[in-house]
Amino acid sequence: MSTFTEKLYGILKNDSGVAAIVSDRIHVEFAAEDALPYVTFFIVSDNNVQGLGARSDRQGPIRVQIDCYSNSLSEVHALAGAVKSAMNFSDTQCTIRVESSSDAGGFAAEGENAVIRRKTIDVVAFCDVALT
């Protein structure tokens, strides 16, 4: 049985728009010195849905933060657009939608003069309990 993290990773990895930009550089929680561009994601929170005093067969909302990184402003915007498109997803197990996204901020990489751009996308998902 698949976990939600595995499902989300698979959706991102198998999306042609995302893969065209990052190949397989998609990481859970953090990236350890990976080449740019790349995507990281982590589960911020998850809750069981309650209904009439009993546990529902749905899990949610599951809130996820997805961060897109690049050294190019145009590339980070393109990557975020591809991720947003991939995250408007629904199948028999899960419904995922984009809740919000941030403007691309920049920060200097430690020990370098290069600026790394980041764009954050917040998504929410409702999934079968079996995925969590």
Assign residue 98 the CATH number of its domain: 3.30.2000.10
Domain count of the chain? 1
* Residue 26, domain extent: 4-131
Looking at residues 38-64, what average pLDDT do you find?
Answer: 73
Residues 6+ apart with CB under 8 A from 28: 5, 9, 40, 41, 42
Structure tokens given for 113: 């003069």
Yes or no: say if 107 and 42 are a contact pair by the CB < 8 Å rule: no
Instruction: Give CA separation, 11 vs 108, 122, 129, in Å.
Output: 30, 16, 18
Residue 67 to residue 49: CA distance in whole angstroms: 27
Task: State residue 1's pLDDT score.
Answer: 37
Task: State residue 72's pLDDT score.
Answer: 87
Note if the bond before 61 is cis, omega within 30 degrees: yes
Structure tokens given for 119: 């764009």
**103 has a pLDDT exceeding 90:** no
Yes or no: say if 125 and 4 are a contact pair by the CB < 8 Å rule: yes
DSSP conformation class of 127: E
Structure tokens given for 117: 């751009």
Residue with tokens 């010195």: 33
pLDDT per residue as tens digits for the range 7-40: 999 999 999 999 999 999 999 998 877 789 999 9
Global confidence as pTM: 0.83
